[in-house]
Amino acid sequence: MAEAKVLSGAGLRGQIAGQTALSTVGKEGAGLTYRGYDVRDLAEHCCFEEVAYLLFHGELPNAQQLEDYKARLKQWRDIPDVLKEVLERAPSNAHPMDVMRTACSVLGMLEPEHDFSKQQDKADRLLAMGPAVMTYWYRFSHGGVRINCQSDEDTLGGHFLALLHGRKPTELETRVMNVSLILYAEHEFNASTFTARVCASTLSDIYSCITGAIGSLRGPLHGGANEAAMELIERFNTPEEAREGLLGMLERKEKIMGFGHAIYKDSDPRNEVIKEWAKKLAELVGDTKLYPISEAIDQTMWEQKRLFPNADFYHASAYNFMGIPTPLFTPIFVCSRVVGWCCHVFEQRANNRIIRPSAEYVGVEQRKVVPLAQR
């Protein structure tokens, strides 16, 4: 039997663990692409539903296909009454990611995937109901409001904002939400996606795969960086105070969330996009604090550590300007990344072999059991 190769490097970084036709991350000259399209190009010209269709079906939709796909998602936006009851029982201080994880698992009992022939239906259902799950729980637990889980909004981004605020979002707000969902939709073999693929490789159902992925995203080293970034930005009152405070944090070797990336070396292409939209929102709301403080932190991190903002950093202020509560930042990530997760599940199923790596044993040598009376 051939000896298993020991993979070097913490967290298996740099190791190829499979193949995908969905995206490239950090590829020289490309940055981040979905099905061959630069994510910046997609964010400029497409709505989120177009990008979801692209990832699921391999090509961008034409006008009729997009209209049909939006209609398909609209019919699945509402959530079952039993799930609403579960959400009403979740405490207001529950971690929102626990709510999202539980909702996915409950839906798996209510609308099970009996076989894989309907996997696209299940994926579209999960995608369509994400905004309602998040906002139904939040508004009920924080105000006792049982919201209508349907809206007239054409896109999921606008739908989310309408459910959250109980009003029609502005054109700019809807556009920024679409861009945000596009930027977060897919990112190759990150921790949560790999979790989904490992689960899929056992031929488990799609709800188990996505529940596991949500669990991985819940960890602070994967999801939650935009929440941490918001907490950091809100500590300071001026750009000067932010710079001084950050220098102190760096001197104390405190971890600064929202900067650097495991794959990107010079910049995160998603940051390039969301930073500009955050600036537009800042100008719209008349902000003279959060955005300048964000820029001061950005500049200081580059000067001191040559670390660049990742996708999460300017998302923090962008979401804040749209009135989105900080605890909901990472659940928004779920509502977007469910597309990528499901696509990876499909891809794994299409050419499956169970993912079962080996481990390098570093414990004590083999030994004999000493009878209990002699120990």
**Phi and psi based region of residue 169 (left: phi greater than 0; alpha: psi -120 to 50; beta: remaining):** beta
Q: Does residue 41 carry a catalytic annotation?
A: no
Kindly state the DSSP code that residue 15 receives in the 8-state scheme: -
Name the strands in the sheet holding 23-27, side by side, starting at the edge strand that comes first in the sequence.
23-27, 31-34, 37-38
Amino acid at 339: V
What length does the chain have?
375
Beta-bridge partner residues of 24 = 33
* 68 is an active site residue: no
Q: Which of 268, 312, 315, 344 is catalytic?
A: 312
Question: Cβ(352)–Cβ(119) under 8 Å?
Answer: no
Can you say how many angstroms the Cα of residue 253 is from the centroid of all Cα atoms in its chain?
27
In this structure, what DSSP letter does residue 24 have? E
Distances (CA, A) of 89 to 93, 105, 321, 335, 366: 12, 15, 30, 22, 50
The two three-digit tokens of residue 90, written as one number = 């979740």
Of 159, 187, 205, 261, the catalytic one is 261
Gap between the Cα atoms of 144 and 88, Å rounded:
9
Catalytic residues: 261, 312
